[in-house]
Amino acid sequence: MKAKKKPLDELPLADLGVEAGPQVKELSYAQPEGRQRGVMVDDAAALVAALKDKGLV
Amino acid sequence: MAKVLIIAEHDGSVLNPSIAKCVTCAAAIDNAEIEVLVLAASTAEIAAQAAEISSVSRVLTIERAENANPVTAILAPQIAAVAGDYSHILGPSTTYGKDLMPHVAALLGVNQVSDIMSVEGSHTFRRPVYAGNAVVSVAAPEDSQLVATVRVASWQAASGGNSAPVEAVDATVELPSHTRYIGLESAASDRPDLQTAAKVVAGGRALGSEEQFELIYKLADALGAGVGASRAAVDAGYCPNELQVGQTGKIIAPDLYIAIGISGAIQHLTGIKDAGTIVAINKDEEAPIFEVADIGLVGDLFSIVPKLTSALS
């Protein structure tokens, strides 16, 4: 309850020498480009073959 | 005419590959004159690497013993001191840039634009929000300097072959003494750095224990890949925090990403959606990771991963 007795000072924003409000404006929102579902393989050997096919391993 | 200053991330001798990507972003700004600033205790080697990046017109160096380690409180005042002539000050959206650039922005009294995905105009950019579930176009005020971080995963590295002039600049600002470098503790590893590796193998909670997470390291070593992990695996203590991929971890874009035993929570997917090819191995065929995977394999990772490792070794 003691906190309620503390003085509450109000300072005008202009006295603080800072500019209020966001500087950066938001113009528009959009959906990000999604990824497509790919192919399913059956086992490890098929996965290795698929990766070799793409030149990744 | 835009004058762009890119703050070089490095480890004391090698320039971080993210900087060549920042240069590509800077070059997307019309009529950009691009300069790179290297702060280090010994700048020659790093500056020479920065000078090779195409479209860089000049490399500036500030060589001070205090710059031996990347302490934001030490670096930021020096950057602010030389930033006066520049319209844009960019850094990579890596742990380094995310720590440093807001400090620079505060010293210059401007708002920061974070995670630039694409450049629409000299002060208009697209950036991801809501964990990558939306993309917002933002406009920064044209009459003040712009401080921004570049979303490394969205940009290709600029090519080499350039030989830009290197110049030392004087930044005799008084440095604060309230923040000092004490030491660095990190899990030393010979594997490629997760953030910049061309291939990454990542494990999730399904690995089940720290010992079984070894399967991930073995496959990564067979491929010469970096190692990542889902938050679930990190929280369960299977691997160190620095391997975490996703919204609260690293945002990466390797050519090949292999997710093993990772269900694919949206917070994880946001960290990998710019990967070239995503491979998912999971026993649950309904796992959301398969919605984004280019190649999916449903099955028990404990039998599949050793087979993969031996086939690729």
- Domains, in order of start, for chain B: 2-168 (3.40.50.620), 199-312 (3.40.50.1220)
Say yes or no for a CB contact (<8 Å) between B133 and A32.
Answer: yes
Residue B170 Cα distances to A22, B10, B41, B81, B304, angstroms: 33, 20, 14, 9, 58
Rounded distance between C-alpha atoms, residue B21 and residue B91, angstroms: 10
> Which member of B128, B133, B295 has the closest CB to residue A47?
B295
d(CA B229, CA B33): 39
CB-CB neighbors (< 8 A) of B126 in chain A: 30
So what's the pLDDT on residue A55?
86
> What's the gap between Cα B312 and its chain centre?
28
Left, alpha or beta for B128 (phi > 0: left; psi -120 to 50: alpha)? beta
**A contact test, residue of B154, B297, B302, B304 with most A CBs within 10 A:** B297
Measured between beta carbons, which residues in chain B are less than 8 angstroms from residue A28? Answer: 136-137
Global pTM reads: 0.83
Distance in angstroms (rounded) separating the CA atoms of residues B114 and B149:
5
Nearest by CB to A23, which of B111, B137, B297? B111
CA distance B157 to chain A (A): 19
Q: Is B37 helix (H, G, I), strand (E, B) or coil?
A: strand
What's the pLDDT score for residue A6?
81
Contact B137 A26 (CB under 8 A): yes
- CB contact B297 to A (< 8 Å): yes
CB-CB contact of B90 with B6 (8 Å): yes
* Residue in A closest to B255 by C-alpha: A56
What is the per-residue pLDDT for B171? 80
pLDDT greater at residue A2 or residue B35: B35
**Alpha-carbon distances of B273 from A39, B22, B120, B196, B268, rounded to whole Å:** 17, 19, 22, 15, 9
Task: State the DSSP H helix or E strand holding residue B302, giving kind and residue range, or none if neither.
Answer: helix B301-312
Q: Is residue B218 exposed (0-12), middle (13-18) or buried (19+ Cβ within 10 Å)?
A: middle
Nearest CA in chain B to A21: B111
Q: Which residue did the predictor score with more confidence, A32 or B286?
A: B286
Identify which of A26, A43, A48 has the shortest CB distance to residue B136. A26
Quickly count: other Cβ atoms within 10 Å of residue B57's Cβ.
Answer: 14
Supply the pLDDT for residue B298: 96
Interface contact flag, A50 B295, Cβ < 8 Å:
yes
Nearest CB to A27: which of B111, B137, B304? B137
Q: How far is it, in rounded angstroms, from Cα B10 to Cα B20?
A: 12
B257/B221 Cα distance (integer angstroms): 14
Banded pLDDT at A3 (limits 50, 70, 90): low
pLDDT value of position A1: 63
Rounded to the nearest 10°, the torsion over CA B287, B292, B296, B298 is: 0
Please tell me the predicted confidence (pLDDT) of residue B77: 96
Nearest chain A Cα distance for residue B179, angstroms: 26
Structure token digits, residue B143: 């009459």
Helix (H, G, I), strand (E, B) or coil at A40: strand
Q: What angle do CA B150, B154, B157 make, to 5 degrees?
A: 85
DSSP structural state of residue B211: T
The segments of chain B whose pLDDT lies below 50 read none
**pLDDT value of residue B189:** 76
- Residue B227 β-bridge partners: B201
Give pLDDT, residue A13.
Answer: 86
Q: Which pair of tokens denotes residue A45?
A: 């050997």
Show residues of chain A in contact with B121, CB under 8 Å.
none
Number of Cβ pairs closer than 8 Å across A and B? 103
* Average confidence (pLDDT) over A4-13: 84
Angstrom CA distances, B97 to B192, B219, B279, B311, stand at 20, 31, 29, 39
What is the structure's pLDDT at A5?
Answer: 78
ipTM above threshold 0.85: no
Q: B149 to chain A nearest CA, in Å? A: 14
| pLDDT of A2 over the 70 cut | no
Please tell me whether residue B146 adopts helix, strand or coil conformation.
strand
Q: What is the C-alpha to C-alpha distance for residues B17 and B226, in angstroms, rounded to an integer?
A: 15
Chain A residues touching B290 at Cβ < 8 A? 37, 40
Q: Does A5 touch chain B (CB under 8 A)?
A: no
